[in-house]
Structure 1
């Protein structure tokens, strides 16, 4: 149905959609000192505004506002319809604790109280 509209109206609708996506998304990608807003995300990838970045590859950090969510390894990126489509090979969640190399017992005490 959108194909039946005149070209200028389609361009205006696409621009309004991009502006709306920029406002609603809190997700951001950081590579080095550069920071870009994520327009949309799906399992295995995300899209950035192609006007801001034309090519991106390698290890990047994904943030939700100021909260660090994960580190992503981008293996391919291509520009499609004004968006830079980034395909992610691996996404490692960031935790605030070091990983354990043993199984923690559920009934183990959390701390010890001193003897009085």
Structure 2
């Protein structure tokens, strides 16, 4: 059974949903130095407001507030109602430390004390 609502009520519900998504989300993307708000994020993509969404393809940086989360490679975008949904091929997690090219032992020394250094 399908329930249909009058257009005015449906438009009001959609506007309230978008307002709550805008208010709740701290996510944003950075495209060539310009920042755009992200409404939702899932494992393989994210969505933005269709009216303000840029036409992006390629690498973008995804932030949660000031924390750099991912560098994403966007390959597809489609409009779904009042949202523009972007899908990415990969999302590389950003690390605050440089990548190691070797396995660090659990009992490895933290620092080196030179000979003659007062302890």
Do the aligned residues in 2 keep the contact of 1:44 with 1:89 (CA within 8 Å)? yes
Q: Which residue of 1 aligns with 2:58?
A: 58
Q: Which residue of 2 aligns with 1:47?
A: 47
- Count of residues in Structure 1 that have an aligned counterpart in Structure 2: 116
Q: Which residue of 2 aligns with 1:25?
A: 25
Question: Following TM superposition, where does structure 1 have runs of at least 4 consecutive aligned residues deviating by more than 4 angstroms?
Answer: none
Q: Which residue of 1 aligns with 2:98?
A: 98
Larger radius of gyration: 2
Which ranges of structure 2 fall in alignment gaps of 5 or more residues? none
Alpha-carbon RMSD: 1.6
CA positional deviation for 1:2: 8.2
Change (3 A) 1:65 1:54: closer
Which ranges of structure 1 fall in alignment gaps of 5 or more residues? none
C-alpha distance in structure 2 between counterparts of 1:2 and 1:62, whole Å: 38
CA positional deviation for 1:3: 3.9
- What do the CA deviations read for 1:18-53 (whole angstroms, capped 9, x no partner)? 010000001101111221111111110110111102
Summarize the alignment of residues 63-74 of structure 1 with structure 2, pairs less than 5 Å apart.
Answer: 63-74=63-74
CA positional deviation for 1:55: 2.5
| TM-score, normalisation: structure 1 | 0.92
C-alpha distance in structure 1 between counterparts of 2:38 and 2:45, whole Å: 10
Q: State whether structure 2 residue 83 is matched by structure 1 residue 83.
A: yes
CA positional deviation for 1:4: 2.3
| TM-score, normalisation: structure 2 | 0.90
Relative to structure 2, which stretch is displaced further, 17-26 or 45-54? 45-54
